[in-house]
Chain A
Amino acid sequence: MISPIHILTIGLGGAFALGFVPKKAKDVAAIIMLFAIAFMGAISGSWLLSLINGGSAEQIFTAGFRPPYSINLLMGLNEAFLSTAINVIGLLGGIYLYKSLKSAGNHAIMVFLIFIMGLNIIVMTRDIFNLFVFMEIVSIATAGLVILTETGKSIQAGFKYMMATGIIAGIFLLGIIFAYYYSGTLNIDGLTSANIGLAKGGSVALFLILVSIILELKSFPANGWGLDVYEAANPGIGAMLSSATATAMYFVMYKILEMAGPQWNYYISLVGVVSFVGSNLVALKQKNSQRMLGYSSIGQVGLLMIILGFKDILGDNTSYIAFGILISHYFAKAGLFWLAGIVKQKGIKEWAVIRKKPLFLFLMGTFIFALIGFPPFPSFFAKWTLVMDLINTGNLPWVVAILFGSMMEAVYLFRWFGYAIKGENENIEDFKIELHKIIPVGIVVVSLYVVGYFTAQHTEVGAAINWIPLLFVAAIFVLDFLPVFVKNTIAIIGMALYFYNIYPDLDNLRLIFEAIFLVGGILTLIAGYAYKGKRTGFYPVALLMYAGLTAIIEAQTTLQFFFGWELMTAGSYFLIIRGKRSMPHGLSYMLFSIGGAYALLTALGMAYAGQGTFSMDIINGITYLPYWAYGLLIVGFLTKTAALGLHIWLPGAHGEAESDVSPMVSAILLKAGVFGVVLTLIGMGGPNNEYTWLPYALGWLGAITALSGNLMAVFQEDAKRLLAYSSIGQLGYIVLGLAMMSHLGWLGGFSYVINHFLYKAVLFLTIGAVVLRVGTHNMYEMGGLIKRMPLAFLAVMIGIIALSGVPPLSGFAGKWLFYNAILEKGWYFQGAIMFFSGGIAFLYLWRLIHTVFLGQLKDNHRNVKEISIWFLIPIYTLITGIMVYSFKPQWVLQPLGDMIAQYFPDGQLSWVGDTAISKYGHWAGTWVAVTVIGAFLIVLALLMLSTRKAHKLKQFDITYSGERPERPETTHVAYNVFEGLYKAMWPATIPLVEAWWNRVTDFLHDTADIARRIYSGNGQIYIVHIVLFIIVTYFVIIGG
């Protein structure tokens, strides 16, 4: 094997040899450079392989003397990994920059080669002054590379960079020389054992060394110079700085911290957290994509610093966590910078142009999800482990800070992604794809997935993840060029087979939800046959959501659960954002989901604390801050069920989604949150739990959610939004039922779960299909459609009767159970609110069916056809379900009762034949249905007997007060039809919650805007920042 020192030989020799290459032969020079980097990579890679396979680390001595007398280098596992990574990214970056480097000439090529070489040595060296020299090499090379593509801005940025690094290098040198003075050595290992921190001056020297490395890492807020470089430099260089340099400097920090001793760890974490939260916060206002990426890079480095500071606490997991975060950041940030170079757009809004080439959306999406820490990327597993370990060791506040920062990062990254996916792109010039630029991007994308898989395999819990659904998603993704019909069939067959395989392994509770997810999924997918063409991207994301849902059900460990949860979030986000105007709603959905997911993550961490296992059982009986843990779990799950306060994403997201997506995300997806709440409540100990106020508060929340959801639905003019608000209300019932923590309450809740799935799927599918036909969501632009689409009308009528709870259809079961439960529990007011919400529900349901199907047929709808058969099939299948449930409620309720009795044995219903008997009353579902239908038929027969010949009237046979089709909302009777009620109840409809969230975001954005004013653009001010940073940290750490 070749000695690692020859990385230096190759790098320098190559650079010097380039001087012989004639000026014109730029290709030769560039190829020599690439070969040199590849060769360096081969050396480090071969060491990496040998060290992974148990080889021993290599010490390189120079000058024939042992350290500390001469400079030595070390090639251990860390070094081998990092230098391999640097060389790989260097090679890819070299390929990416091929043309830019060539046009800048041979000198630039030399500089690039030396830059990569210098990073290698920085990683390997064990001598502190040598480190200084090579850091100088790297920063001078950076100063040169910044002006690779020379613009006024890049020159300014380069100069500021030089000023800053000049000061930092001086501080570093001062620290080194005094460290030498106190220890008599320059060797890092020697300094470690010398323990110079004990002397007063020695600790100052150590501080100077540390702070200069911190500053080199561009810690917030003394980092204006670094940001300018990210913004102004060629994106290819930005990629190098963000991934390669930051990685190398991070490792330097690791070495130095090792040297300085554990008493500094805490402060490093402190600086890290300030940097992480601060730069992510400030990035909120950023409109320039490259500068935003710069902020994000700094944030990520801050996170890595936190991890480093906790290395003694995290123990063996430190390197795993750091690896996961680092490698995700490494590839993703490089990829994003490269994309920025390909897209050639600075403003984040202009990134909409990327949509012109859908593959690029996939690339960008991958990078952003990897940065935020979604599965299956390494950062997901790393963040998981980090949070678990931090909470387990009692560092909850740190977790909160970290998650807050991550949240901010998600905000701006997803906003950016939203612009890319949905923004206006007509007037933006399309970008060219150059092969040499896209190859590196492609390689890092693939690497992210591969590394993610292996990261998961590395841990025991991660290895247990079921990858089959994901493989299926990947397969569908590959097959995306096929027409809808084929993909739909594959998807349906796949899901059916999967369900067939999985269902024997599930207990009853999980079976219910799995059936809703998968059977419901199949039914809604059938509607997909109505679409023509390819429907690019639909199937992978839909299946991703289902993969996540099924992973939640199957989860044996909390990690698997969270894994599934995040997959489901990602998939549903993409599904929702496919709608035409769904971008802002997609964003708020994502942010609430991430916020909820972080609440879950924290809570799962608290559950893990002190348990030492990730089995799902740990949420039963949490011991560490149980009130908070259960509260957070519930909040996390409630973001998905859109409880009041966390609901503002739902109406838009569901309302603007595609016709067959709305039922998926409404009827099916919301149940994932319910499942979570169910698990939590079981975990709290079921009937005998000691958390009195938590279920109580939850109950009130459910009741108020039910009321306000329904009330908001009443005042909607948009049919799908109406249904969306209705979902909020219905989920409120479910939450209330579950919160009662009694057998009847749960039975009511579960009967709602099933019922809501059935009728909401029917309603959304039907209305969605109608919308597809008539081309508008606005109800006042519809009317009289019963004549054109009677089957759709019938479906909606059955749906709304079932929803409203009017006997004899299935909705009444839930109501009846609820009132019994309420009486038993004594939650009379909640019950009254619920009843009132039910009354409100009639209003919007009538409005829905009346405005869409009854009244006058609109002129432009005279020729619309009945909704597509592909929608009717699932709709009527579901209606069959409703009918069965209505006529034989005991078929559903008895097994449900048995299932719930496992958790709530007391207060069960007793069944006498068809009659359910509770403590308070009785209800014979079948007989009620038969009686009502019987009476109905008799009356109908009487009517038919007495009206033998009814004269069929045409539309205009009645007195007709005109409607104006051109401005239908002004004269349409159903427009603002509940004005009277509104006048009476308007205070209840003030969107307080939305206003509150708006205020929160405004506050954050304003803070960000004020905070970022410190980056005045004046290089001198940045120097002042640096010096101030040094002084402040000094007085914080040393204490004056």
Chain B
Amino acid sequence: MSFLIITVLLGAVMLAMAFIAIYHKKLIVAVIATGALGLFASILYLLLAAPDVAMTEAAIGSGLTTIIFFYVLNRIRTDAKEEENEA
């Protein structure tokens, strides 16, 4: 029963994360929310008796992906700055 409640809570949190990822003004926050979504998902996977998946999701789905996002955001930000400087 407690699992059930946790699951429901997790689901709600995940949807909230998704909402933040979609609608938060700052892209950085959105990316972090996406990573958090992955982390919560990996908790869910643990609950669903899938430790392998949980590990993978944590390491790859939320970890590496987020880092790549950051790289790209950083690059784009600097590009935009260059643009401003030139202008």
Q: Is A–B contact present in the complex under a CB 8 A cutoff? A: no
Measured CB to CB, the residues of B under 8 A from A are none
